Amino acid sequence: MPPRPRPSLAVALAAALVAALLVLLPGSTTAQAAPVLLSQGRPATASSTEGAGTPASAAVDGDNGTRWSSQFADPQWIQVDLGATAQLSQVVLRWETAHARAYRIELSTDGSNWTTAHSTTAGTGGVQTLDITGTARHVRVYGTERATAWGYSLWEFQVYGTTGTGPTLPGGGDLGPNVIVFDPSTPGIQARLDQVFQQQESAQFGSGRYQFLFKPGTYNGLNAQIGFYTSISGLGLSPDDTTINGDVTVDAGWFNGNATQNFWRSAENLALNPVNGTDRWAVSQAAPFRRMHVKGGLNLAPDGYGWASGGYIADSKIDGQVGNYSQQQWYTRDSSIGGWSNGVWNQVFSGTQGAPAQGFPNPPYTTLDTTPVSREKPFLYLDGSEYKVFVPAKRVNARGTSWGNGTAPQGSSIPLSQFYVVKPGASAATINQAVTQGLHLLFTPGVYHVDRTIQVNRPGTVVLGLGLATIVPDNGVTAMKVGDVDGVRLAGFLIDAGPVNSPSLLEIGPAGTTTDHAADPTTVQDVFIRVGGAGPGRATVGMVVNNHDTIVDHTWIWRADHGDGVGWETNRSDYGFRVNGDDVLATGLFVEHFNKYDVQWNGERGRTIFFQNEKAYDAPNQAAIQNGSIKGYAAYQVADSVDVHEGWGLGSYCYYNVDPTIRQEHGFQAPVKPGVRFHDLLVVSLGGNGQYEHVINGTGAPTSGTSTVPSTIVSFP
The CA distance from 617 to 632, in Å, is 12
Question: Is 507 an active-site residue?
Answer: no
CB-based contact 502:476 (threshold 8 Å): yes
Q: What are phi and psi of 681, to 5 degrees?
A: -105, 150
Long-range contacts: 120-123, Cβ < 8 Å, 24+?
Answer: 121/145, 123/95, 123/99, 123/147
The one-letter amino acid at 653? Y
Q: What number of other Cβ atoms are within 10 A of residue 659's Cβ?
A: 16
Across the chain, how many H-helices and E-strands are there?
4, 52
Torsion of CA 669, 670, 671, 676, to 10 degrees: -160
Nearest to 244 by CA among 272, 214, 212, 216: 272
Exactly one of 50, 106, 268, 614 is catalytic; name it: 614
Strand, coil or helix: 326: coil
Q: What is the DSSP string of 629-686?
A: TBSS--SEEE-TT---EEEEEEEEEE---S-TT-EES-SEE----TTEEEEEEEEEES
CB-based contact 70:48 (threshold 8 Å): yes
The CA distance from 304 to 524, in Å, is 35
Q: ∠ at Cα 592 (587, 593), nearest 5°?
A: 165
Distance of CA 415 to the CA centre of its chain: 20
CB-based contact 420:444 (threshold 8 Å): no
- Residues designated as active site: 614
